[in-house]
Structure 1
């Protein structure tokens, strides 16, 4: 009787600490360079396609390894000078040193690859791109973490994969007034010696700042995130000095309390310290009522293009529109303004309150909003009988199986799927059987980053 062959041990051609020379072949969806050494896949952060680098192995697994660049031996001709002083340490804008033309081509390729390899979806139409006119200073919201380093606070964003705050004077993706407000607060926090939260010890007072700003109205809203407690009176006096607040166009100062052991910035309790707890944003002819926690697209310039695209796909069609995962009602209100009858559904109470107030602010009566999970709404869908179009704008995890099943049962004539994750988009398109892709466009909402926003029009076959 023959003995079974022993299972062959996989030979990994490198070990941690080895230096190897690598040609960067492509960019992964994570924004890291991809190379191969003796057939073994290696990820190379801070490297671009057409680079040649000497890299040190920092991690190995059975399927891939991770490296760090020791020396760049040859640089791609598409590399540009990154404007940010803390690039690439911060990690928020992984491809800031790549030409914008190549950034857009990369994002289209990511969608193509996801459709082909994850969803195995055969798309008969070309993937078009809508690049940003403003590839810098476009973000209208910053959520800053604060960490004490020495005697001074570090204010910035967490380095990728860590809880270490990368301090910076300016982020080049943020609108400039946001940076000015943050630096003014830095001076106040240092001047009054506010206790800085220590995540490891779960001790200290101030743990974060949130600044929201509108490019069109000029209004801003400020949030200070702390553990339980009150601000010193002298700090509050300087914070709420009316001439300074007017200079920054701040409409309200909100005290957000987050006493949980987490690196999530915002807690659930809000107290208004000065002014009002909202500000006004404007897109096109629409005004929006936005509170501190409410969701809104972070790129208003590209949002106008995205909403206009959705309108062009929906406006001339009959029947009502269901805006699923409607957030604060951005797409709902845009379509209602264009004459559509819209039902917006979202599970967040604060989002729905903002959406209803924005509808009143704009005098729109053809949209209504429901606070409910989409799974429940689609399972009990009698009130959706008039719906002929569904607009889906889910979180990164995409649609749950219950949502996909509910959509297929409702049988809308068309679906507009707005996605921030090509992988889950491809997965969900494959599950939406009986629908064909009629148009697909990559709208660059996040220049300088690897993140991708895609809009897809599907029609029932």
Structure 2
């Protein structure tokens, strides 16, 4: 057992202190805490520990809302008040960029803070485990695949939480509840619900037929999935959920297996911040890579000469084309393609390239951007480490960073989104 004063937070959520010159990483601690911890891992340069006793509470510590916080792996920072969370997200983003890019002076803007810090998640993956006494439905326990059952999720939207008692009642009645490992639940800006039941039971013993009538009675859309996205099967209800972005609102549908940000209100703020950052003139030709169903492509199309959207997931491109038509937007075209390959083969010069890649970043796209050399690049990232990795070659070969801003789309966790605007020198 060792005593540690927590000095800061690390990207990943752990509190960080020092013991005999070594950094100590301890989950569920707050800056200013004095704690007793048990060492769980010893490395040459650092230790990892688990909190045993809180001796003194740091200034930003608060009481978590969720009774299973600390066991459930979904949230990292419910023990920090909102102001402390926002401070550290802004600081971690700044520290990572400065350290990884080896630059002290960066044009960083204030954090785009979340207006809604609770009951915001519009999409949740409920993990399921069949027990003799019923179904355990909730989330994986921190660091394991043990299902921590929950009665209510403090960060899930109210509409999503409505599904939990329904699942506890219905799933034990299906032929093979032990073959239902997960149920995806999503809601939209109209509180309509869509469920995707992951069902790996043998043919004829699936949960879908048993749940179809109950879902229809509840007024919810229901799909089953037995493997990858290609196995999605519609059982009842409409396939699309609909979100609203921009002003006046664009109505954007997205199907099961498609992507939309989980914080719908913050997504609107993010799109608005991106448009403000770009200060568009109206004559630009824009390429939107990893465009999904048009979340940013279509607001951009309202303000520029032309937008080409590129996405490798074909159903998302079909949805983007439909969304453009529904909203009366005729200056946007969408293509199913690998982002880097499309950029390398493009015979059109673009004034602006927007990219919003998955967490792994876009290393190949960065190389293609150096060959294509658009005048401006807007990089939307959900991981500051891969963002810094991808920005580094651009900044080293003629681009300059005009602005960078972290955005809080995931309150109660350490995760953050960000916007970075670059211009060719």
Mapped contact 1:194–1:206 kept (Cα < 8 A): no
Q: What TM-score, normalized to structure 1?
A: 0.87
State the match for 1:208 in structure 2: 182
Q: TM-score, normalised by structure 2?
A: 0.94
Are positions 1:450 and 2:395 aligned together? no
Q: Does 1:220 align with 2:189?
A: no
The match for 1:393 is 356
Higher alpha-carbon deviation: 324-333 or 141-150: 141-150
Quickly say closer, same or farther: Cα 1:411–1:116, change in 2 above 3 A. Answer: same
- The alignment status of 1:79 with 2:54, answered yes or no, reads no
Unaligned runs of 5+ in 2: none
Partners of 2:237 and 2:132 lie apart in 1 by 34
**C-alpha distance after superposition, 1:197-246 (max 9, x if no partner):** 3xxxxxxx2221111101x322221211101434469834642443x22x
What are the within-5 Å matches in structure 2 for residues 324-403 of structure 1?
Answer: 324-382=289-347, 384-385=348-349, 387-400=350-363, 402-403=364-365
Look up the SS of the partner of 1:29 in the other structure. Answer: coil
Structure 1 residues not aligned, in runs of 5+:
1-18, 198-204, 259-265
Contact 2:6–2:32 (Cα < 8 Å) also in 1: yes
The residue that corresponds to 2:281 in the other structure is 316
Residues 74 and 367 (structure 1), Cα distance of their counterparts in 2 relative to 1, 3 Å cut: same
- CA offsets 1:163-206 (integer angstroms, 9 cap, x no match): 1111101111110110112321221113x154233xxxxxxx22
Which residue pairs with 1:5 in the alignment? none
- Partner of 1:115, secondary structure, is helix
Instruction: Judge which range, 124-133 or 419-428, deviates more.
Output: 124-133
Superposition CA RMSD, Å: 1.8
Partner of 1:305: 269
- How many residues end up aligned between the 2 structures? 418
- Mapped contact 2:376–2:422 kept (Cα < 8 A): yes
Following TM superposition, by how much is the alpha carbon of 1:80 offset from its aligned partner in structure 2, in angstroms?
Answer: 1.3
Q: Does 1:254 align with 2:223?
A: yes
> How far is the alpha carbon of 1:113 from its aligned partner?
1.1
1:420-443 per-residue CA deviation (whole Å, 9 max, x = no partner) reads: 111111122211131111122111
Q: Please tell me whether residue 411 in structure 1 is matched to residue 350 in structure 2.
A: no
Q: 2:9 aligns with which of 27, 46, 54?
A: 27
Contact 1:121–1:430 (8 Å) recurs in 2: no
What is the alpha-carbon distance in structure 1 between the residues aligned to residue 226 and residue 255 of structure 2? 15
Residue number in structure 2 paired with 1:59: 41
Q: Deviations over 1:302-349 (max 9, x none)?
A: 111111122223332532111111122211012113345111111111
Residue 268 (structure 2) pairs with residue 268 (structure 1): no
* Matched-pair contact (CA < 8 Å) for 1:219–1:281: no
- Asked which structure has the greater CA Rg, the reply is 1
Following superposition, the deviation at residue 267 of structure 1 comes to: 4.5
